[in-house]
């Protein structure tokens, strides 16, 4: 869906490192998913992944630094959703995050977000620095 005309709704915003601002965006996203007639099981997963990515950017990426912001680009279409979140933190290596499904890591929360996002979204890509994640969800039939 490279053609921008296919997006029913999109928003590009730079928000402060404030989870309240993140929640406001997620509420808006959920409203738009409903308007675009996404099924609840799909929008549930998108909701969790978006929330996880935004909260990670604020808490881990920017360390809740009020001088740093999070850049959010969200697009909703009939068949696809794209969410691109970038923070101003140093980044991380998603490959180096402990696998939370391994016994020794069951109590390590850091890997869960990455796993959760990958579980719910169709495609997840991090930039080289690891401070930006682009995820897409294709509607399940």
Give the domains, in start order, of the chain with CATH numbers: 7-138 (3.30.565.10)
pLDDT beyond 80 at 104:
no
Q: Between 25 and 104, where is the model more confident?
A: 25
* Contact status, residue 47 vs residue 18, Cβ threshold 8 Å: no
Choice between 84 and 113, residue whose per-residue pLDDT is larger = 84
**pTM, whole model, 2 decimals?**
0.89
DSSP 58: I
Residues paired with 138 in a beta bridge: 80
pLDDT surpasses 60 at 81: yes
Across the range 3-27, mean pLDDT stands at 91
Q: Which is more confidently placed, 5 or 89?
A: 89
* Residue at token pair 């696809």: 80
Residue range 68-85: mean pLDDT, rounded: 98
> Which residue has tokens 């601002």?
21
Main-chain dihedrals φ then ψ at residue 24, nearest 5 degrees: -60, -45
């Amino acid at each position: 869906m490279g053609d921008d005309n296919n997006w029913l709704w999109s928003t590009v915003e730079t928000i402060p490192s404030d989870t309240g601002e993140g929640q406001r965006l997620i509420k808006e996203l959920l409203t738009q998913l409903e308007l675009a007639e996404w099924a609840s099981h799909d929008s549930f997963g998108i909701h969790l992944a978006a929330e996880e990515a935004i909260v990670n950017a604020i808490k881990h990426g920017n360390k809740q630094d009020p001088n740093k912001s999070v850049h959010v680009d969200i697009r909703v279409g009939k068949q696809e959703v794209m969410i691109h979140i970038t923070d101003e933190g140093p980044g991380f290596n998603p490959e180096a995050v402990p696998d939370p499904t391994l016994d020794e890591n069951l109590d390590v929360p850091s890997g869960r977000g990455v796993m959760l996002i990958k579980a719910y979204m169709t495609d997840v890509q991090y930039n080289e620095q690891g401070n930006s994640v682009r995820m897409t969800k294709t509607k399940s039939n």
